[in-house]
Structure 1
Amino acid sequence: MIGHDRGARVAHRWALDRPWEVDALVLLDILPTRVVMNSFDRDSASAMWHWFFHRNPELAEKLVSGNVESYLGHFFARVRESGAVDQKTFRHYVAAFSDPDRLRASFEDYRTGFSVDLDLDEADHARGLRVRSPLLVLWGAEGGLAGSDVVRVWQEHHAGPAAVSGHAVPGGHYVPEEAPGEVVRAVESFLDQARGAGRGPSPHSASRRRNC
């Protein structure tokens, strides 16, 4: 299972709740929810201001709904300029978030991060529940996690710290778009190693999942 940003948070939760369904896990450009929430300071809160804005879904929806293109344009400005995200892709995002239900759902996801998600993460960490599948973490060398000891943090959230590997890749937060080749090569190498150690995806995975 591979997830980026909000999708990576879903993937992390999935690996905790249903470990028998996750043979190998790749998380792109995130730290655990509980770590982020417990480490906000003036600088990080300023950089991640949208988390707090999105926490108020009704207000956020009213303010953004008529300005979806401009709002998304703020976040995509650098990768649009570099060409990592082309105009067709950007228009796809604009169209998707112009749907009121999808827009509200995205804000609700952030709101839940401050409540249900955080509560679950804290409770699971306190009782010693950790990711068990081999874990690869990748992050943008020029993004918000630059300078963070990402691998060490995830080792603290894993049942077997030696099963955690990772490194920075070129670019910023939009890891799959900014460094697609590096991501593919890292994932392929990771899966080869996981299979070699007998821990990665196997031909019997699907049937095992159905039987559980």
Structure 2
Amino acid sequence: MTDPDSFGSDNQVIAYEVAGNGPPLLLLHGFPQTRAMWRPIVSALSQDFTIVTADLRGYGASSKPATPPEMSFRLMAQDMVSLMDSLGHARFHVAGHDRGARAAHRMALDHPDAVSSLTVMDIVPTEHLLTHMTTDIAKAYYHWLFLAQPEPFPETMIGHDPDAFFERCLLGFGKASLDDFDADLLTEYRTAWRDPDCIRAMCHDYRAAIEVDWHHDTQDLARKVACPALVLYGKDGAMAQLLDVPATWVDRLSDMRHTAIEGGHFFPDQSPIATHNALRQFLMSL
């Protein structure tokens, strides 16, 4: 485990690491992981890019906001734009998985001058998911509704056995087993998600999605991300089984490419080489 650097943004502290040389590429993790998820592909990507991996506010070694509005994707995006600017990167590529992808999408809308390209991994747009929630989607992604319940109900339930809940999340979104996750990375995830403040902040993340982000995204339905964009998704993931993932992005991205990767929602852990190859091919083509 590497000790991160830290950066102050909007009264929050963001933990991050930097590796490699070349055009800057920001990698953002999702729920319930940390920046450590990118470790299996950082060494290969860092041969061509300056890689910045960061913990989203509320996650990992970053600080833990106390209220749901502080966990909006707009503020997560602003954290990362400020971080990258502090490192001398006024413009950069960004790729995100899960919650990190949602923050990256918001970043491309709010800060188009900063984002050279956008890669989103295994998500459909937040507005689309919430507006078109079906019984099957609600069953597969029940955690969206559970975590958004008023404090402290989900926090109390999860706190009785964080490993049981969050490991079930790792396995529950399409074709995964614990063996798909590096043992050292699992140890880091467990350390993070056993923190009561982290549990609370992750619940606030999902509360904010419904209470804040849905409104932001609805306001921006007429806008498209202008930069080149790549949509990656798990071939066997819950979203791919329930929806045409690329089709949900057609009206949101002006210049879109898409690829299915072997695995489920956590395909970067299951298929790191394929994930690296698809991301690198896209970025090197720009």
**Taking structure 1 as the reference length, what is the TM-score of the superposition?**
0.84
In 1, Cα distance between the equivalents of 2:247 and 2:140?
A: 23
In 2, Cα distance between the equivalents of 1:69 and 1:188?
A: 33
Aligned-partner SS, 1:76: helix
Identify, as 1 or 2, the structure richer in helix. 1
Task: String of CA shifts for 1:102-135, please: whole Å, max 9, x gaps.
Answer: 111111000010011000000111xx22211100
Match of 1:24 in 2: 117
Quick check: 1:48 aligned with 2:141? Answer: yes
Aligned-residue Cα RMSD (Å) equals 1.4
In 2, Cα distance between the equivalents of 1:118 and 1:3?
A: 19
Unaligned runs of 5+ residues in structure 1 are 195-212
Identify which range, 63-72 or 134-143, moves more after superposition: 63-72
Identify, as 1 or 2, the structure richer in strand. 2
**Taking structure 2 as the reference length, what is the TM-score of the superposition?**
0.63
Identity over aligned residues, as a percent? 33
Quick check: 1:123 aligned with 2:216? Answer: no
1:59-208 paired onto structure 2 within 5 Å: 59-77=153-171, 79-81=176-178, 83-125=179-221, 128-147=222-241, 148-158=243-253, 160=254, 163-194=255-286
Q: Is the contact made by 1:80 and 1:87 (CA closer than 8 Å) also made in structure 2?
A: no
Q: Give the number of the structure whose alpha-carbon radius of gyration is greater.
A: 1
In 2, Cα distance between the equivalents of 1:145 and 1:168?
A: 11
Match of 2:32 in 1: none
Total equivalences in the alignment: 188
Match of 1:204 in 2: none
Query: Are the structure 2 counterparts of residues 70 and 30 from structure 1 closer, same or farther at C-alpha, using a change threshold of 3 Å?
Result: same
